[in-house]
Structure 1
Amino acid sequence: MRPRAGAPRRPIGAGTLAVGAGQRAQRPGRPRPSGPDPDVTERWPADSVHVARAVERLRLGSVIAFPTDTLYAVGARARDPVAVARLYHAKQRPTGQPMIWLVSGRDQVEPDALVTDAAADLMRRFWPGPLTIVLTARAHGDGRTIAVRAPDHQVALTLLRSLGEPIASSSANPAGQPPPVDANQVIAAIGDRIDVVLDGGPCHIGKPSTIVDLSGPAPRILRQGAIEASKLIRG
């Protein structure tokens, strides 16, 4: 059937619809099956009730998106390999590219990574905040590293403190695409591959964290982000 003259045409592969808080986002043009629908994402307001529900979903292996001080993150329990595999799928990211571990503070870092004096100093000065620190992992002793950050955002910190363990995370967008600063952008980008979006409004920094590598003999800036590299060095 030919389209009616003047009628707008829906692009092939149109993305997920943006919907209001407490509703579901579903990709258009697909019938909803009777069982669980992998293309439906629950969108919740980031209030105390729904943050507590999100913690329970994380414990069950869900992949969720939530606001941080910098950008919206997508994450899963860092010590749940099945959930982390789903996280890589949501990001469409090669498994050889490690995720950042979000933590509530130094106490969630020390079981898994060696916190040097230099790292402890940066944590005191810049955490919670937009600084990611790469440290040597404890478990293997073969030079593996873990990148850790404590976000300066109440929703993210409440998730981490209530969960009681790190969340493996990345910005809530497909690899190579612009990172999202609000829930609508998250749903449009990866809403068909995650379980829940916590809508906490726009992120107030709106740019990635700075990444400093302290796993080697000398500090290295791996990414210039929200904190200028010069501020990391004591004069």
Structure 2
Amino acid sequence: MLLYTMPSGTERTKKVLTKACELLRAGEVIYFPTDTLPGLLAWVSIEDAVGRVFRAKRRPRGVPLPIGVSGTGQLLEVLDIPGGVISALKDFIPGPLTIVGPARDDADLPEEVLKDGEVAVRVPGYPPLML
């Protein structure tokens, strides 16, 4: 697990975010700020990395992890919900709201983030995570 602090200044911030993305895509787990509390982040499609988050948090495998997405577009890629629901949520996302709903069949999500076919999704209101 790696720890990075967010530097001030646009160029330095971009460098840290680029490095964080590289690490996540390489299967690393990182500790990173969000709009509420810092969290452990892993690339959702890398099973070993997701497993390391469970172990680090001492979280039972039967308690799924929520996933974070960058916006409404990605939200609709993983949740099978009507557009009217998204319209109703626009006042709350991005922000500190976890939306639980049926996962799309074509979302290709690991079992660790699913429970009874549902997934918990956040759209953090923290600008670096909204890329």
TM-score band by shorter chain is 0.7 to 0.9
Give the residue type in structure 1 aligned to 2:89: M
Which structure's CA Rg is the greater one? 1
Q: Read off the aligned partner of 1:92 and give its amino acid letter.
A: R
Matches within 5 A, 1:159-170: 161=131
In the other structure, the counterpart of 1:154 is 127
Letter in 1 for 2:27: G
Q: Which amino acid aligns with 2:5?
A: P
Deviations 1:39-65 (A, max 9, x none): xx5432322211110100000001111
Which SS does the other structure have where 2:42 is aligned? Answer: strand
Counterpart secondary structure, 2:121: strand
Q: Distance in 1 between matches of 2:121 and 2:96?
A: 11
In 2: Cα distance, 1:117 partner to 1:108 partner? 13
State the aligned residue count.
Answer: 117
Segment drifting more, 97-106 vs 43-52: 43-52
Q: Aligned partners of 2:69 and 2:2: how far apart in 1?
A: 24
In structure 2, stretches of 5+ residues that fail to align are 7-12, 107-114
Partner-residue secondary structure (3-state), 2:18: helix
Following the alignment from structure 1 to structure 2, what is the Cα–Cα distance between the partners of residues 139 and 82?
22
2:78 is the counterpart of 1:112: yes
For residues 91 and 119 of structure 1, what CA distance do their matches in structure 2 show? Answer: 32
Distance 1:137 1:44 in 2: 32
Higher helix share: 2
Deviation, structure 1 residue 133: 0.7
Output one character per residue of 1:192-230: Cα deviation in whole Å (capped at 9) or x when no partner.
Answer: xxxxxxxxxxxxxxxxxxxxxxxxxxxxxxxxxxxxxxx
Q: Identity of paired residues, percent?
A: 35
Shift of 1:143: 4.5
- Structure 1 residue runs of 4 or more that deviate by more than 3 Å after TM superposition: none
Query: Alpha-carbon deviation of 1:139?
Result: 2.2
Residues 12-63 of structure 1, C-alpha deviations (whole Å, 9 max, x = no match)? xxxxxxxxxxxxxxxxxxxxxxxxxxxxx54323222111101000000011
| Structure 1, unpaired ranges of 5+ | 1-40, 162-235
- Structure with the higher fraction of residues in strand conformation: 1
Mapped to 2, the partners of 1:86 and 1:42 lie a distance apart of 12
- Checking the alignment, whether the CA contact within 8 Å between 1:109 and 1:148 is kept in structure 2 is yes
User: What are the residue-to-residue correspondences of 1:214-225 with 2, within 5 Å?
Assistant: none
Normalising by structure 1, we get a TM-score of: 0.46
Using the size of structure 2 for normalisation, the TM-score is 0.79
Query: CA separation in 2, counterparts of 1:105 and 1:146?
Result: 16
Conservation of the 8 A alpha-carbon contact between 1:106 and 1:123:
no
**CA RMSD between the two structures:** 2.0
C-alpha displacement of 1:118: 4.9
C-alpha contact 2:29 2:40 (8 A) present in aligned 1? yes
CA distance in structure 2 between the partners assigned to 1:86 and 1:137 by the alignment: 23
